[in-house]
A = this chain, B = another copy of it.
Amino acid sequence: MCRFLAYSGESIFLEDLVCKPRHSLVRQSLQAAEAKAVTNGDGFGIGWYGERETPGVYREVMPAWSDDNLLALCANVRSHLFMAHVRAATGGGVSRLNCHPFTLGRFLFIHNGQVGDFARVRRRLEAQLPDELYDERRGSTDSELLFLLIMARVRAGAAVEDAICQVLHDTADEMEDRGVTTPLRFSAALADGEQLWAVRWASDHKPPSLYLKPQRGGWAIASEPLGDDAQAWTAIERGQLVHVRGTEIDQREIC
């Protein structure tokens, strides 16, 4: 279990969401409220879009709460579209290669959840990757693999929303085939530099928490409310997709 946030809207300093709120993501790295793991200290990462097509990324294995670089970066980098993630490792060692966000070309991806009993299906899922994405695999997490599987479908021409939906169902099928009974859980965000997609889904009835809030000039999405303003955050329902383009938002069932 991990904690994350994503933002799309007017350009703001990353610190406004990552560091400054009373229950900021940096604070959640030390003490999350709604996560199975209270401590999310197994590395972290931020990704943001600026003037370039490909995003800036900073990932580190230290806990977010003790990293001075993170504070300095978030105080000085501004973005209209960014995400941040603090990790509680469930599988895959503590390594920058296993830290979120994962990136490929202009895409960024963060995930909270799991492929249940991943060791039993990892091989079959990796076999689904086309050659050129197989070579992009750097770490050993289920999260990175789900991202690459989604990217494979997007590159093959699928809409992002359909790609996510297909990967979730294919993965759940593969798990069932192999007799895996622990669930597939997927609260995640994906961005391409202009658009942001966030999904809350699970093969059982317990998808990881995900909240939405209108942020001055945009939208914030987070694993749990960031401030004292819990009432300003709306829980995204299980099976819902949120799609943000600039400040425009659309919310619907995904699959």
Contact = CB atoms under 8 A, between A and B. Distances in A.
Interface of A: 30-31, 38-39, 41-42, 48, 50-52, 54-63, 65-69, 72-73, 75-78, 89, 93-97, 119, 122-123, 126-127, 131, 134-135, 137-140
21 contacts: A41-B63, A48-B76, A51-B76, A52-B76, A55-B76, A56-B72, A56-B75, A58-B69, A58-B72, A60-B69, A61-B62, A62-B62, A66-B94, A67-B94, A68-B96, A73-B73, A93-B138, A95-B95, A97-B97, A123-B135, A138-B140
B97 A75 contact: no
What copy number does this chain have within its complex? 4
A88 to B, nearest CB: 10
Given A50-B78, A56-B76, A93-B138, 12 more contacts: A30-B41, A31-B39, A41-B65, A48-B76, A56-B72, A56-B77, A58-B69, A59-B68, A59-B69, A68-B96, A93-B96, A126-B126
A48 B73 CA distance: 10
A78 B51 contact: yes
Given A95-B95, A122-B134, A73 B56 contact: yes
Nearest to A94: B66
A50 B76 contact: yes
Nearest to A119: B135
A169 to B, nearest CB: 24
Nearest to A47: B72
A73 B59 CA distance: 11
Given A57-B72, A69-B59, A75-B54, A93 B97 contact: yes
Contact of A57 (B55, B69, B89): B69
A51 to B, nearest CB: 7
A203 to B, nearest CB: 22
Contacts of A39: 30-31, 39, 41
A227 to B, nearest CB: 22
Interface centre among A89, A131, A138 (most CB of B within 10 A): A138
A68 B72 CA distance: 18
Interface centre among A65, A76, A127, A131 (most CB of B within 10 A): A76
A178 to B, nearest CB: 11
